[in-house]
Structure 1
């Protein structure tokens, strides 16, 4: 089998910034996850406040409702304010595809690393 076709795990150094401080993490990039997911303990320690909105998600264990929050994310030398989901079940920070898109990044499947692609903007013509 071609080793370039083997799916592996991609990790990236990331900082999450809340009103109580900055946390540095080795996060798993999960291209099967729409949102970045933050463990509740991390959100509480950093002061990443939840909003009143909850998002229905599908997990390996079934359906769940996760609280939406807003965090500043620092990734590959850039910083963005991003929607995150706060989870009681997840034990590590997961970087989802909406965060990758906001930073103009994608996973290069041949290297297993993030690469800059630019932010995709769609224009609808009538």
Structure 2
């Protein structure tokens, strides 16, 4: 099986310590009005974190409020909504957490797995991976 690598390394910006950033585009649920942002790839984050001022500018409104556990163990609640995210030439829906205004965007595992991508922190890039299936 040959995997198609559809993400380009040229859009990546290194940030040291095995972390890296990628350029993605985010849009509202209907996929309108995309905005280009740089997001930190964080395999410790389940969901994608987008500053609420960016989401508001795109016309995205909170759909629900979910509980989250922060890295320091604190439990908090944040609004979430479905958005469109584009990586390379491919766009698809994902869940976005309404982050603090002007905070650093984070690309979480839920979005990465939806694109069948994994982080390669050594080479600071996203790589295509096969989906996993279990048969009965």
Question: C-alpha deviations, 1:83-116, integer Å up to 9, x for none?
Answer: 1111236702110001000001001133121111
Aligned residue-pair number: 118
Instruction: Report the equivalent of 1:3.
Output: none
1:59 to 63, 70, 73: 70
Counterpart Cα distance in 2 of 1:89 and 1:58:
19
Aligned alpha-carbon RMSD (Å): 2.0
Counterpart Cα distance in 1 of 2:76 and 2:38:
25
Question: C-alpha deviations, 1:49-86, integer Å up to 9, x for none?
Answer: 210x2211122462210111010000122111111111
Q: Structure 1 residues 42-51 or 58-67, which shifts more?
A: 58-67
Instruction: Report the equivalent of 1:12.
Output: 22
Q: Residues 108 and 7 from structure 1, CA distance in 2 versus in 1: closer, same or farther, beyond 3 angstroms? A: same
- Please report how far the alpha carbon of residue 22 of structure 1 lies from its aligned counterpart in structure 2 after TM superposition: 1.6
Q: Residues 36 and 80 from structure 1, CA distance in 2 versus in 1: closer, same or farther, beyond 3 angstroms? A: same
TM-score w.r.t. the length of structure 1 is 0.82
TM-score w.r.t. the length of structure 2 is 0.77
SS of the counterpart of 2:54? helix
List runs of 5+ in structure 1 lacking aligned partners: 1-5
